[in-house]
């Protein structure tokens, strides 16, 4: 089976381990990921605050390229990219005039009926049905599933999971043998794009998330967004500084946890690339 693949910038740079683990898993289930050729920026953060048409044209061009390749379904592991592409698709389908305008801007045919999958939707659809027999090493840890803001919001566009108290990752990790904690920080802000510009704010916001996970005895935090991962993992010194304690709970992508349970080696999953050391 071949699935379209939109990596976006993070998966090519700061979160290469996310790409690596996604590929490692899909390969194990004989799914070939075909990258959309000549893809461009999804416009996250900047575009939709500056220019509405640009913020729609950028994702539309990506989707048009995928259509040109004959793709029907594409995987978008980054939560921000997923949110931008889904929002653009929704906005354009709602407004035919705007759609015509954007088609003119991108200069390509665009139908708007591509099926978009985030990592959890992809796992639910193609991996979990045949998962049980393939689990070699159950992930027997107490974990905190952290969804962040963009994976489940806005509900009226994504129609995926419960926006205030999402469950999809919790259900998935249970199947891997892990015990998800019941906590209230699943969708609290990690600091997002302030990662570069205001690290102290990230230290505080992500710090509160890490504090609650620690207090509830989580042994790992599970994420599905490169930005969340960057803030919770790479900004750990700032977090520790804010908390006044050294917290060494690792932050894993859901795909990495799944990979470990499937017995895939650490290197293929990119586990050595983390700032906070991941112990088995």
Contact residues: other proteins, CB under 8 A: 155, 162, 164-165, 182-184, 188, 212, 215
Tokens of 255: 């795909």
Q: CA quadruple 132, 138, 140, 141: dihedral positive or negative? A: negative
CB of 276 vs other proteins, minimal distance in Å: 24
CB of 166 vs other proteins, minimal distance in Å: 9
Do 96 and 85 form a contact (C-beta atoms < 8 A)?
no
Q: How far, in Å, CA of 146 to CA of 183, rounded?
A: 9
Q: Which residue has the tokens 């249970």?
A: 174
Q: How far, in Å, CA of 20 to CA of 6, rounded?
A: 14
The distance in angstroms from the start CA to the end CA of the chain is 31
Q: Is 159 left (phi over 0), alpha (psi -120 to 50) or beta?
A: left
Give 12 or 155: the residue with its C-beta nearer to other proteins.
155
Give 69 or 212: the residue with its C-beta nearer to other proteins.
212
202 closest CA partner among 245, 232, 247: 232
Q: Which helix (H) or strand (E) holds 26?
A: helix 16-28
CB of 165 vs other proteins, minimal distance in Å: 4
Give 162 or 267: the residue with its C-beta nearer to other proteins.
162
Give 184 or 245: the residue with its C-beta nearer to other proteins.
184
CB of 60 vs other proteins, minimal distance in Å: 27
Give 28 or 211: the residue with its C-beta nearer to other proteins.
211
């Amino acid at each position: 089976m071949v699935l379209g693949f939109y990596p976006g910038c993070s998966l090519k740079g700061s979160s290469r381990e996310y790409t690596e683990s996604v590929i490692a898993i899909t390969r194990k289930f004989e799914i070939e990921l075909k990258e959309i050729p000549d893809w461009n920026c999804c416009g996250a953060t900047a575009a939709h605050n500056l220019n509405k048409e640009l913020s729609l044209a950028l994702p539309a061009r990506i989707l048009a390229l995928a259509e040109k390749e004959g793709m029907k379904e594409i995987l978008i592991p980054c939560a921000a990219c997923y949110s931008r592409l889904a929002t653009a698709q929704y906005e354009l389908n709602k407004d035919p005039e705007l759609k015509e305008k954007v088609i003119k801007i991108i200069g390509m045919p665009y139908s708007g009926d591509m099926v978009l999958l985030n990592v959890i939707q992809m796992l639910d659809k193609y991996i979990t049905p045949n998962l049980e027999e393939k689990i070699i090493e159950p992930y027997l840890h107490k974990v905190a599933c952290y969804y962040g803001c963009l994976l489940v919001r806005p509900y009226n566009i994504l129609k995926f999971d419960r926006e205030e108290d999402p469950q999809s990752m919790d259900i998935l990790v249970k199947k891997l043998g892990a015990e998800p904690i019941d906590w209230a920080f699943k969708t609290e802000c990690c600091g997002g794009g302030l990662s570069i510009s205001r690290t102290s704010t990230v230290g505080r916001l992500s710090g509160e998330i890490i504090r609650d996970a620690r207090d509830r005895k989580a042994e790992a935090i599970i994420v599905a967004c490169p930005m969340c991962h960057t803030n919770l993992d790479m900004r750990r010194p700032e977090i520790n500084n804010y908390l006044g304690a050294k917290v060494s709970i690792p932050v894993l992508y859901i795909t990495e946890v799944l990979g470990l349970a499937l017995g895939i080696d650490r290197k293929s999953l990119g586990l050595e690339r983390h700032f906070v050391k991941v112990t088995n």
